Amino acid sequence: MKTYEIEIASDTTDAKSFCQYLNGLGHSASIGRSTGNYIDGVWTSSHTESSAIMNDLWEAFCNAPAPEGD
């Protein structure tokens, strides 16, 4: 699986959990200071491929089993 450097928008629902999930997959994810999402430095709102990647990652996160103990 290809891994990415990901900056998650500061206003993303569950940003902290999403960041932890992405890092667990081997990505380098952090919560940004802006309300934009970036993949490898590319703003997902202006780039079709980056937007599709972010959507796929978000969908996988939303459908992943909850960690044990939750």
- What is the pTM (predicted TM-score) of this model? 0.89
**pLDDT value for 28:** 98
Separation CA 44–CA 37 (nearest Å) = 6
Q: Note whether 28 and 4 are within 8 A (CB).
A: yes
| Averaged pLDDT in 10-residue chunks for the chain of 70 residues | 95 94 97 96 96 97 80
Contact in structure between 29 and 23 (CB atoms under 8 Å): yes
Give the integer Cα–Cα distance in Å for 18 and 9.
11
pLDDT at 69: 64
pLDDT of residue 58: 96
